Structure 1
């Protein structure tokens, strides 16, 4: 069942209805009546005959009319029996306010499971539990009791009632924008984030989706739906739980694990979501994206009446990845004709007092700048809106005229305008006129820059949309028959870890460049193998019980000469037995030493929220110290592989330093794509670690490889999970 009957309910039962004004069971009925909800309202309380003039029923099943949704405002322990009664009535959805479920521990989780079982048996969709409720502002269906929420075109999804209150209040006090829906997602026990996203993506009145997220239960499905949604509508998201303390707080509140912030942020951005890290920028970003066209060429002009603000804005936008373009010569010539000699017309544009006695000049300049093909959007910073306050009241009418003209440019030019005003808090009529036309106005220069910056970010994403992964796996399509024999042998031995030789064989089956290794069981065989390989070799212990070979002193490098190799073999075996006496030792791996190059690491793991992810970064022993790594959710595209390499601070090393030749980045990209293919081919794989990979000026070498499988009973479950 979809969410239509829940979010657009035509009848509501308020279970736990009350005559006490401080109770939710009273506040909800009062708000529904005051805001003229046109559907049917059924208070439910066996102790009351009527509440606020409405007939009160002892149970849901005794209500005479149909019930689309039930607001359950009773303690947690009562919810299973209440849902049983709702099931008898054929109720389609329930909003469960109570806390005391999965967010509180094992007992609460057991109660939450009982609730889900009952709801599933009766096909009741659930919002919550542990939710502040939901509001459909289009139909005045207010199950929160929050009065006078502003109506508009933004859908709001949060896991915090206080965050919802903050955003709704901000919209009411500082903007002309508002909301189509608000949903407090709560524990996400039944209806998941991706289902809400699908509903809002199809709602004709919703132009943008605003989200506050602590954790989500089905992250990959969310990414898949977000990818489909952002092609049509922008999504703005703030995710908490980035710090260790924040993760603990988020977990206790929602009962959902907050995942690795670096993984989450990268995944969200790849899905086209605008990720916000400062809460005071969250609503302004949604306001801009719901009001203005995306900036298609990543280029913004700055129009200012003072050099200081112009310079700060240019620096801030540059830090956000936005281009500040040079204006066309004809544009600069026209600007010079209407501005004083001291004006700067390069971009940023400083009117240098040219608007002091005629603020209409702002509109003339804006018109010229937006006609320039190099410009995708315009940021106005400084005094606009305050000329009638600062200089003369007569200038206020001129500002209002300029506001009308600039507001109409949004439609005529199809380009964005955002305004920063020092006089925003004074609330002059000219600034309210700009908001009427959909031009956002802010008192904070940083917030104004962020608001227009997200329009450029979203425009960049739309431009590259079809080069981005849809986050969908084609499980097993690229599997090799020979690989199944490797996995069968590993499982038959009771292992979940591939030996290095087995891991490299699997990589080789998919075309990866691996070293020519050989496992030997005697010192003499080691010496013979080294001689046949020629040059220097490395010896490494081969044991399924010793995954970190260096920890066991199970690696020796740069060996040459038969006697030295024999001695190294015996020493490595001795070290391994001393490190783990009960370890099964398959032998010693003999590998040719590879030429020097740039050491990098490539690894994969299963993320709690998003499933398989891949990591790239500076390799060798430094990876644990420097943590110069980037993540992507699998599968990846070639563009994603290129970008994750560029995202690391060590990226310039690959271009060569101090006269060194550049390293083979194309080979590195191909290896990342090969790893993506391998994970997509074999859902048995839990984790893969290639460290180090030596990148040469031409080609690369996988020096060490480790692959862990899921336990045998879990093998193959990944295709169902994704």
Structure 2
């Protein structure tokens, strides 16, 4: 199992803090304070080459000097010292390591070289490492706070994994304010060893974890990630915010944690296939996790919207449809019933606008009627306070109806003070409520997405016939050649060749080294054509003006060839231009 050794990190009986300090406000100080203050029964050993004592604890010059066995070492020393510290940990039998230090692959080749040294030591000594460039780990159930945050969230059933330490810090602060608990919190940083796949495996078997939430910039080991997610998504919702949708944000992610974010469309397809729900915002993570534990999963995307105001109903429709949902087509029988219980001026369609003077009894009639309609998979109820209706009475009505309903019901009681008591009542009875109709509609579709993704888990891809299995040798040679050149991305012709081996259709592509060759290739393909620069060092061709579209003649192709070559040399003079 890939989770072997992780108990030493998540439930250590003893911890060494390398770089421990009594200088208030420093990382070493906060680590010591948290580890010593929250876990009274846990032994803590400060390691500081210049100190004999830190915060009242005897300090040691190196981890080798600690007289007892240690489960976990938290390292907060300058990056260049970390490989030696890791080696000392291995020699001392410490197999769980968290590296909070920054200055590794996110800064370039020098940092990558340090990571390689650490990886070699990991293999020699059988270590499990979280980080580097991370915040650390929090596990409230065992009173473990191995971070430099001065907060401990309450115990709960959500495991949160973040590739951003700063974002993780903000999430902890927000969760404490919102009274949200965690089973585990992990800031993974650069993921030199322990990655998303390992943690999904570990939390998937953790009885205290009911759902797994993640902030992702890039996946390192795709095979492990997909295997773990597919295995556990059936029993525990895995909900993801994936950053780096666009080229600009992807570049920012690379400089942040050194992660390559990859094409967003690929991540979307992978998440769907693995049963993962992808949401757009951090708040959606927690909304989705909450509602999946409170409400039945929608059987379909068809929603009836019941509202006492036209505008919010329209907003809900926009949000629903933009996320792939549908307005339920109300059956003639439903329309007839609604005509009998609603005023003459109701909207006579979906959204069901029951008008601003609607009291609890009118809400009750509309909700019951819509829930009985076989065309309706779920109901979204909107309430805006207009002075004539008691929102608490409306909430009580919804609670009463939902006790006997097997369909998804979400609500949006808009406002703050006027609806505070009603929202409290709804939440206490397991009925999710949102401040805006858009949030409610979006959350419904995330729930439906979860249901659809789980269905995909049970679909088996069609097997390739024996004679169409791709040849291993040329694929292996192609990938090895790229690795020898320290490339992490194949060139476009290489990538298309790889796809072709798997019988995935690609557009006809030729490599031209001169303008005349380009014109000859274009005549073979047939006009119009596209011409792109070919260079292993230029991944995003349009960034250097290396793409010319809709070329319709030999003259245009030749001119475009000279143009993209010139632009590429101007923008990246060091790049190898292959055509």
Q: Quick check: TM above 0.5?
A: yes
Matched, 1:188 2:180: no
Contact 1:188–1:216, Cα closer than 8 Å, also in 2:
no
- Tell me which residue corresponds to 1:691: none
- Tell me which residue corresponds to 1:423: 415
Equivalent in 398, 411, 414 of residue 393 of structure 2: 398
- Tell me which residue corresponds to 1:39: 42
Ranges in structure 2 where 5+ consecutive residues have no aligned partner: 479-490, 531-535, 537-546, 551-579
Matched, 1:312 2:312: no
SS, match of residue 420 in structure 1: strand
Bigger mean CA offset, 454-463 vs 219-228: 219-228
- Tell me which residue corresponds to 1:373: 374
Q: How do 1:140-289 residues align onto structure 2 when only pairs under 5 Å count?
A: 140-144=143-147, 145-173=149-177, 175=178, 177-279=180-282, 281-289=284-292
Matched, 1:435 2:427: yes
Pair 83,295 (structure 1): closer, same or farther in 2 beyond 3 Å: same
Contact 2:5–2:96, Cα closer than 8 Å, also in 1:
no
SS, match of residue 446 in structure 2: helix
Deviation of residue 126 (structure 1)?
Answer: 0.5
C-alpha distance in structure 2 between counterparts of 1:143 and 1:485, whole Å:
46
Deviation of residue 110 (structure 1)?
Answer: 0.8
Superposed CA offset, 1:506-534 (max 9, x none): 99xx9999xxxxxxxxxxxxxxxxxxxxx
SS, match of residue 20 in structure 2: coil
Contact 1:31–1:142, Cα closer than 8 Å, also in 2:
yes
C-alpha distance in structure 1 between counterparts of 2:155 and 2:407, whole Å:
25
C-alpha distance in structure 2 between counterparts of 1:87 and 1:256, whole Å:
27
Contact 1:298–1:457, Cα closer than 8 Å, also in 2:
no
Deviation of residue 46 (structure 1)?
Answer: 4.6
Matched, 1:4 2:39: no
SS, match of residue 285 in structure 1: helix
Bigger mean CA offset, 346-355 vs 306-315: 346-355
- Tell me which residue corresponds to 1:684: none
Contact 1:76–1:98, Cα closer than 8 Å, also in 2:
yes
Ranges in structure 1 where 5+ consecutive residues have no aligned partner: 491-496, 514-539, 559-592, 594-598, 602-606, 608-622, 627-722
> What is the TM-score when the length of structure 1 is the normalising length?
0.62
- Tell me which residue corresponds to 1:105: 108
Deviation of residue 108 (structure 1)?
Answer: 0.9
Matched, 1:116 2:108: no
Deviation of residue 58 (structure 1)?
Answer: 4.0
Pair 31,487 (structure 1): closer, same or farther in 2 beyond 3 Å: closer
Aligned length: 511
Contact 1:171–1:283, Cα closer than 8 Å, also in 2:
no
C-alpha distance in structure 1 between counterparts of 2:503 and 2:243, whole Å:
41
- Tell me which residue corresponds to 2:520: 553
Pair 462,22 (structure 1): closer, same or farther in 2 beyond 3 Å: same
C-alpha distance in structure 2 between counterparts of 1:431 and 1:205, whole Å:
27
Deviation of residue 405 (structure 1)?
Answer: 3.3
Pair 162,485 (structure 1): closer, same or farther in 2 beyond 3 Å: closer
Contact 1:155–1:182, Cα closer than 8 Å, also in 2:
yes
Deviation of residue 484 (structure 1)?
Answer: 9.4
Q: Give the structure with higher Rg (CA).
A: 1
- Tell me which residue corresponds to 1:463: 455
Pair 463,215 (structure 1): closer, same or farther in 2 beyond 3 Å: closer
Superposed CA offset, 1:584-608 (max 9, x none): xxxxxxxxx9xxxxx999xxxxx9x
Contact 2:162–2:168, Cα closer than 8 Å, also in 1:
yes
SS, match of residue 22 in structure 1: coil
> What is the TM-score when the length of structure 2 is the normalising length?
0.75
Q: How do 1:612-627 residues align onto structure 2 when only pairs under 5 Å count?
A: 625=549
C-alpha distance in structure 2 between counterparts of 1:487 and 1:68, whole Å:
43
Bigger mean CA offset, 257-266 vs 279-288: 279-288
C-alpha distance in structure 1 between counterparts of 2:503 and 2:397, whole Å:
64
C-alpha distance in structure 1 between counterparts of 2:315 and 2:475, whole Å:
58
Deviation of residue 288 (structure 1)?
Answer: 3.1
SS, match of residue 143 in structure 1: strand
Superposed CA offset, 1:211-242 (max 9, x none): 22222222243233323332333322222223
Structure 1 vs Structure 2 CA RMSD: 4.2
